[in-house]
Amino acid sequence: MPTLSVVVPCYNESESLGETHRRLTAVCQTTGWDYELLYVDDGSKDPTWALMADLARNDPHVKAVKLSRNHGHQLALSAGLANCRGERVLIIDADLQDPPELLTDMMRLMDDGADVVYGQRSSRQGETKFKVWTASLFYGLIDRLSEVRIPRETGDFRLISRRVLNILLDMPERHRFIRGMIAWIGFRQVPLVYDRQARFAGQTKYPLKKMARFAADAVTAFSIKPLQFASLVGLAFAVVGLMLTVFAVISFLFFNAVPGWASTLAGISVIGSVQLFMLGIIGEYLGRLYEQSKGRPLYMIEQVVQTDGGASA
């Protein structure tokens, strides 16, 4: 059983995989611990799988896992975490924005008693101002809405202990926000501040659409405040509607006012729009309950490659 596992989810990372493997191998060897490198191919469309399978056949420390299709970053990471065996597990992406060399400092902090050592970004190189602004907006929003404190400027880059991992693996959520789930578990969690680098190669796998979906998963997984907000807005508009009704009756009885189509149309439009918006919030939660109730597997593994066992489907 290896003492250290490194889990690397990959999607179309053929340009950076070789350098990632080189740097991970170098830093793992400096620890003096037995280690494994577990690469997960999340349905890549480029030669990523062929490259990681070759790494697995030539390096006894490597285990390559191929998913049956693209499941998304969080589920690919979940597949890797479920298949690793180490007492300590490093989570890192293959784009080298998070320096693998920080593993030594993370191990030292865990030696001092931490169960989770998470990387906290002091700067973000190679990212647009829009990306930085939306990230800041997201962390501010989740901080206000979540009942669990989720540290700002953190990603999935972290070192976790086996007891934290075992609890995480028992959490069956389909719409996963792993950094939040780990924060929810508790124990002693300490930051390691660092400067995030630009991508080594390739393009980001989180365009605006995926970022918005990820933010929705995070909010609905860790807060019911949007539902409470929907109730408050509904109550507020009920009061406004009652006041308008009283005003209309008084105007009709004492001022001989003729009802206008403009005010009627405006009232119907505003109230209808708010109702649809509130129904959309409720629908997000109901949709997740529906997906969870089906009980389907989180992911499907097509193939695993290791030097000791060859390839197996």
Write down the pLDDT at residue 297.
74
Strand-pair category, 154-161 with 88-91: antiparallel
Which carries the bigger pLDDT value, residue 167 or residue 289?
A: 167
Indicate the CATH number for domain 4-223+299-312.
3.90.550.10
What value does the mean pLDDT of the chain take? Answer: 79
Question: What single string gives the DSSP state of each residue in 197-266?
Answer: PPPSSS--S--HHHHHHHHHHHHHHH--HHHHHHHHHHHHHHHHHHHHHHHHHHHHHHS-PPPPHHHHHH
CA 13 to chain centre: 19
Q: Is the pLDDT of residue 140 over 80?
A: no
Distance CA 296, CA 45 (A): 25
Which carries the bigger pLDDT value, residue 189 or residue 2?
A: 189
Distance CA 240, CA 40 (A): 54
Confidence class for position 313, pLDDT limits 50, 70, 90: very low
pLDDT in tens, 79-138: 999 999 999 999 999 888 889 999 999 999 999 999 999 998 887 665 666 666 666 666
Average pLDDT over residues 295-306: 81
pLDDT in tens, 225-272: 666 666 666 667 666 666 666 666 666 666 665 666 446 655 665 666
Confidence class for position 178, pLDDT limits 50, 70, 90: confident
**CA angle 3–5–11, rounded 5-degree value:** 175
Write down the pLDDT at residue 188.
93
What percent of the chain has pLDDT above 70?
60
Residues 10, 94: contact at Cβ < 8 Å? yes
Q: Identity (one letter) of the amino acid at 170?
A: D
| Eight-state DSSP code of residue 147 | S
pLDDT in tens, 25-46: 999 998 888 999 999 999 899 9
Closest of 246, 279, 245, 277 to residue 264, by C-alpha: 245
Average pLDDT over residues 284-303: 72
| Domain range list for the chain | 4-223+299-312, 225-293
Burial class of residue 47, CB neighbours in 10 A (0-12, 13-18, 19+) = middle
pLDDT in tens, 77-87: 999 999 999 99
Average pLDDT over residues 183-195: 90
Angle between the N-to-C axes of helices 261-293 and 208-222, in degrees from 0 to 180, rounded to the nearest 10: 80
Write down the pLDDT at residue 67.
93
Write down the pLDDT at residue 311.
44
